[in-house]
Amino acid sequence: MSGEVISFTTVEYPDEASMLKAREVFQQEMSKLADKLRPLGMTRFHSSRMFLPEDRFIIGNWLEYRDLEAYEACDKIWQESGAEFAEKYGHLFEGVTVTPHRGEVMDDYS
C-alpha cells in the first residue's frame, strides 16, 4: 500500500436551499482551514456535488493526506475547527446527514 490516506465524507442536505446556503459558508471558511492543513501534510481537498441519486442533495468532500501521521495531525485541526464551526453555523446542519469514510490508498491508476 502507498501509505497515503484518503478521507471521503458525504453530506446530505434535506433540500437544495440548505445545501446552497451551507456551500456559501463553506466557500468562505474552507480555504482558511485548508491553509492550516497543508503544512501538516494534506495534499488535496475538494468538494463535489454528487450526481446520484438525482433526487437528493449530496456534497462529497475528498481529502488526501501524505500518510497516516499527516492524517492524524490534520484530524486534530478538523476536530478543533469542527467545534468552532458548529458553534457558529450549527443551524446549517439541521436535517443534514454526514457520513465519513477513511482509508489507505492501495493502488493508484492515475
* 60 strand-pairing partners: 10, 48
Q: Which residues of 10-42 are buried (b: 16+ CB within 10 A; e: fewer)?
A: ebbbeeeebbeebbeebeeebeebeeebeebbb
Q: Is residue 11 part of a domain?
A: no
Question: What percent of the chain lies above the pLDDT cut of 90?
Answer: 75
Q: Is residue 8 part of a domain?
A: no
| Continuous H helices in the chain | 16-37, 68-89
When the pLDDT of each residue in the chain is averaged and rounded to a whole number, the result is: 92
Q: Is residue 92 part of a domain?
A: yes
Q: pLDDT of 26-57, one tens digit each?
A: 898 899 999 999 999 999 999 999 988 888 99
| Torsion sign across C-alpha atoms 28, 32, 37, 43 | positive
- Tell me the whole-structure pTM to 2 decimals: 0.86
**Residue 43, number of CB atoms within 10 A of its CB:** 15
Q: pLDDT of 7-29, one tens digit each?
A: 999 999 999 999 999 999 989 88
Q: Is residue 90 part of a domain?
A: yes
Domain limits for position 40: 33-59+81-110
Q: Is residue 101 part of a domain?
A: yes
Q: How many domains does the chain have?
A: 1
Q: Is residue 96 part of a domain?
A: yes
Q: Is residue 66 part of a domain?
A: no
Q: Is residue 93 part of a domain?
A: yes
For the chain, give percent helix, strand, coil, nearest 5: 45, 30, 25
